[in-house]
């Protein structure tokens, strides 16, 4: 089992839709979790950190389920500009050098 697993997608949704991605992780000792956004041919940028049960920022909500070892990202009222790849990143708690990056979920929002 991979340490961090994501559905690669693509998820094709119309503008205004609500879409959710899941990310599962294998290390139950993982301490912190992040969602990064990566636009095509660009660097990843932090979207949200998830330190406890969840986090909300505007249209974006991240939730953590430690029992089932997954985190989710919910995007409400999708915009064309949300089209990107979303990377799930897990910190197993043994230092920043052990961050594990998922392969990403691609989202395409259409008019």
Partner 1 sequence: NAGVTQTPKFQVLKTGQSMTLQCAQDMNHEYMSWYRQDPGMGLRLIHYSVGAGITDQGEVPNGYNVSRSTTEDFPLRLLSAAPSQTSVYFCASSYSSGWQGVHEQYFGPGTRLTVT
d(C-alpha 108, C-alpha 15), whole Å: 10
Residues numbered 47 to 86 that lie near partner 1 (CB under 8 A) are 49, 51
Output the smallest distance, CB 111 to partner 1, in A: 28
Q: Using CB under 8 A, which of 23, 102, 105, 106 touches partner 1?
A: 102
Q: Using CB under 8 A, which of 73, 84, 87, 109 touches partner 1?
A: 87
Output the smallest distance, CB 67 to partner 1, in A: 22
């Amino acid at each position: 089992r991979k340490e961090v697993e994501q559905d690669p997608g693509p998820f094709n949704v119309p503008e205004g839709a609500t879409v959710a991605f899941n990310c599962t992780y294998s290390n139950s000792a993982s301490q912190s979790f992040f969602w990064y956004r990566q636009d095509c041919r660009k660097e990843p940028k932090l979207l949200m950190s998830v330190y406890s049960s969840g986090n909300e920022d505007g249209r974006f909500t991240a939730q953590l389920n430690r029992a089932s070892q997954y985190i989710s990202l919910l995007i409400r009222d999708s915009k064309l500009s949300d089209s990107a790849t979303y990377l799930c990143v897990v910190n197993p708690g043994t230092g920043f050098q052990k961050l594990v990056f998922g392969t990403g979920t691609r989202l395409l929002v259409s008019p």
